[in-house]
Amino acid sequence: MTHRTKPKLLTVGVMTRIALLTAMAFILFLIQIPVVAFYKLDLSNLPVLLGTFSMGTVPGLIILLLKDLLALLRTTSAGVGDLADFIMSAALIIPAGIIYHRNKTRKSAMIGMAVGTVCMVVTGVLVNKWIMLPFYMGAFHMDMEGIISFAKVDGVDSETKLLLLVTGPFNLLKGAVLSIITGLIYKPLSPLLHQKIK
């Protein structure tokens, strides 16, 4: 009676791709585009999504974790912002990876990223309410009125409006941009992402 050996999750090839995609993610993290209030758009989760689709959800989460650990080198929030990024990004990555790997088609990838984007929007609102806003109020000795004044967004005069009219839409935009770009480049890059590394 022979026993089947399970394939190793982290082979040399997988670890090499994780390292390369982590480096790409960190480089993209350094390029941030101001969008609204204090929110900035970056594409650092693009390599994370590529790694998730090509290798699986766990390798994707490893890339995300390594990226956020590297981001600690430049943190301005004592690591709180990086923790928040990990939580919100994982909310995108996990559903996208699970749905895609059940049926590896372009359609399932787009559905997975759409579901992941919705999860990231909801998680983003909760993370900002319970982690980020309290942190910034404590760090800069500001009350909610001060945070809203600093945000400088017309029509936003309460925490609820800040979260629903700024935080939520920003994360929706971020998820949509990442999904569209990933959808466009994954297929052309697929041979490279799946190439065996000796």
17 closest CA partner among 6, 9, 7 = 9
Any domain includes 7: no
> If 0-12 CB within 10 Å is exposed, 13-18 middle and 19+ buried, where does residue 151 land?
middle
**Structure confidence at residue 45 (pLDDT):** 98
**Structure confidence at residue 11 (pLDDT):** 85
Any domain includes 1: no
Q: What is the DSSP secondary structure assignment for residue 9, as one 8-state letter? A: S
Q: What is the DSSP secondary structure assignment for residue 72, as one 8-state letter? A: G
| Residue 73's CATH number | 1.10.1760.20
Host domain of residue 167:
12-193
Any domain includes 6: no
**Structure confidence at residue 75 (pLDDT):** 87
Any domain includes 100: yes
CA dihedral sign of residues 152, 127, 112, 97: positive
Rg, Å, the chain Cα set: 18
Domain count, the chain: 1
Task: For the full predicted model, state whether its pTM sits above 0.85.
Answer: yes
pLDDT digits (tens, 9 = 90+) for 115-126: 999 999 999 999
Any domain includes 198: no
13 closest CA partner among 46, 56, 52, 55 = 55
- Cα distance between residue 141 and residue 26, in whole Å: 31
**Structure confidence at residue 8 (pLDDT):** 58
pLDDT digits (tens, 9 = 90+) for 80-122: 999 999 999 999 999 999 999 999 999 999 999 999 999 999 9
Could you report the average pLDDT of every consecutive run of 10 residues in the chain (198 residues)?
A: 54 91 97 93 97 96 97 90 96 98 95 98 97 92 91 92 96 98 93 72
**Structure confidence at residue 105 (pLDDT):** 94
